[in-house]
Amino acid sequence: METIDLKIIAIISNSRDHLGDDDWGDVVSTIRLSDELSPDLFKGLDTFSHVEIVFVFHELDFEKEVPDMRHPRNNQKWPSIGLLAQRSAYHPNPIGLTTAKILAVEGRELTVQGLDAVNGSPVLDIKPIFQEFLPENPQQPRWVSELLKDYWTKS
């Protein structure tokens, strides 16, 4: 399989030291831009409400064997589906993508809320949310709403 090299542009700092399945909504993270990059990259970001953060699940057990198909969270009442039909960290590339609320932009630091990445996660990219890029009426199976009922809030 071919590979590509990517640069780490920032590091995430927060109080979360484990992935965990739920309760990410109140997590506040500071994303500190790499010293090699100009803080000018953040100029204008404060005029947006949300960003998409592309990050690496750097603390995964890369030796762990994960089947191509499984029940989400191993819950037998949900269908067995392919890994790429799930938002699991265990994809062929351990890349996360989350929309987070912007709280502050100061110098080389971006503070966000609701980013489901652990402390120390490397950031590959940051993109502002453009309303015109959002789908009009996304569809999903019922089990997804059941699975995520406590993802952003405490149960």
pTM of the model: 0.84
The CA-atom distances, in angstroms, between 56 and each of 61, 94, 155 are 13, 6, 27
Q: Answer positive or negative: Cα dihedral of 78, 82, 85, 89.
A: positive
State the DSSP code for 120. T
Helix (H, G, I), strand (E, B) or coil at 65: coil
Decide which of 2.40.160.100, 2.40.30.70, 1.10.3720.10, 3.65.10.10 is the CATH code for 10-147: 2.40.30.70
Domain boundaries, the chain: 10-147
* pLDDT one digit per residue (tens) for the chain, 155 residues: 798 999 999 999 998 776 666 556 678 999 999 999 999 999 999 999 999 999 998 877 777 787 888 888 788 998 998 888 887 777 778 899 999 999 999 999 999 998 989 899 999 999 999 999 888 888 988 888 887 777 767 65
Specify the residue for token string 């940051």: 126
The answer for 143, left when phi > 0, alpha when psi is -120 to 50, beta otherwise, is: alpha
